[in-house]
Amino acid sequence: SVQLPRHDEL
Amino acid sequence: MNIFRLLGDMCHLVAIIILFLKIWRSKSCAGISGKSQVLFALVFTTRYLDLFTSFISVYNTVMKVVFLVLAYATVYLIYLRFRSTYNSESDSFRVEFLLVPVAGLSFLENYAFAPLEILWTFSIYLESVAILPQLFMITKTGEAESITTHYLFFLGLYRALYLANWVWRYHTEGFFDQIAVVSGVVQTIFYCDFFYLYFTKVLRGSGKMTLP
């Protein structure tokens, strides 16, 4: 499955 | 985390605090676009829903809460506490012209057709245009108090620093968030005209920024 980019930025 | 992103977050925090304190201490929101502040509160709300679902770091969580609280507190000051000083007639930008395209695009161009992901994408696209009502209001009134220009300077600088952060992350960890980068470039471009006026007018000590 497409690895969702972990939104680790504000 | 890298220095560009940390400096960017600090500029963002400084901008939000400058605006909040300006309104709170002068007990007036004259010259401030309430519409832009509502859009920013919406940006934070749709972007930080993951506060409850994923923990990144203490810093990340604390900053999200601080941004949300200050954003809503600023909207409260403008529309409730000091509403008699709000120039609603000058704050006439049609925000529906921003919300509809941004909402439509977030359904078309996103990383995944999932609720949280579409809301995150919406917040990224919305943030790139959220300042337009404020910039439009300044062109309409033809001037801005110097404190408002400092607010805009730090707000514009924050996303410019994020561009540097994305270059850094691309070269050090191969990280590339296309949606955030493209929106960040668009957002920073909207400030270019303001930056020019800021450096040529405000920093020359002329205090107010009066548009030609």
Tell me the shortest Cα–Cα distance from A6 to chain B, in angstroms: 9
Contacts of B162 in chain A (CB under 8 A): 9
Residues in B 74-133 with any Cβ partner in A closer than 8 A: 111-112, 114, 117, 120
Contacts of B177 in chain A (CB under 8 A): 5, 9
Residues across chain A: 10
The residue behind tokens 């930056």 is B195
Give CA–CA dist B8/B18, Å, rounded: 15
pLDDT at B16: 98
Please judge whether A4 and B117 are an interchain contact, meaning their C-beta atoms are less than 8 angstroms apart. yes
Cα–Cα distances in Å, from B55 out to B48, B75, B107, B195? 11, 27, 26, 36
CB atoms within 10 A of CB B178: 11
Please judge whether B56 and A5 are an interchain contact, meaning their C-beta atoms are less than 8 angstroms apart. no
pLDDT at A1: 42
Give CA–CA dist B191/B21, Å, rounded: 22
pLDDT at A3: 55
Q: Which amino acid is at B78?
A: I
Please judge whether A6 and B54 are an interchain contact, meaning their C-beta atoms are less than 8 angstroms apart. yes
- Strand ranges for B8-142 from DSSP E: none
User: A3 CB near a chain B CB, below 8 Å?
Assistant: no
- Among A5, A9, A10, beta carbon nearest to B111: A5
Residue numbers in chain B where pLDDT is lower than 50: none
What 3-state DSSP class applies to B144? strand
Please judge whether A9 and B111 are an interchain contact, meaning their C-beta atoms are less than 8 angstroms apart. no
pLDDT at A4: 61
Question: Residues A1-10: pLDDT tens digits?
Answer: 445 667 999 9
Give CA–CA dist B206/B209, Å, rounded: 7
What 3-state DSSP class applies to B10? helix
